[in-house]
Amino acid sequence: MTVRTIDVAEATQSLAEYAQQADTGPLVVTANGKPIAVILPITNADSETVALSENPQFLALIERSRSRQQREGGLTSDEMRQRFGI
C-alpha cells in the first residue's frame, strides 16, 4: 500500500473527494513538511473502536493492564474458556 503525502496548502479537493480515494492508501496531510492529519481507510473497525484508539484515558487503562499482566501474569484464552465451560 502506497502512502501519499500532500501539503495542506496544495489540498484543493474537497474532504469528500479525498475520503473517496482512501481505498488507494493513506493520505498524510502536512504543513511545512510536518504531518498534521491522515486520511486512511478503516477496515474491521467501527466508530467506537476508532474513538477509543485515540482516547488517552482508554490508552492509559490498556497500558496499566499490560504492565500488570507482565508483573503478575494472567490466564490464557484457553484457560478462560475452560473456566467458563466454552
Residue-wise pLDDT for 4-26, tens only, equals: 999 999 999 999 999 999 888 89
| Domains of the chain, earliest start first | 4-39 (3.40.1620), 47-84 (no CATH)
In this structure, the number of other CB atoms found within 10 A of the CB of residue 64 comes to 10
**Mean pLDDT across 63-68:** 94
- Please check the confidence at residue 65 and state whether its pLDDT lies above 80: yes
CA atoms of 18 and 8, how far apart (whole Å): 12
Predicted local distance difference test score (pLDDT) of residue 16: 95
CA atoms of 18 and 27, how far apart (whole Å): 8
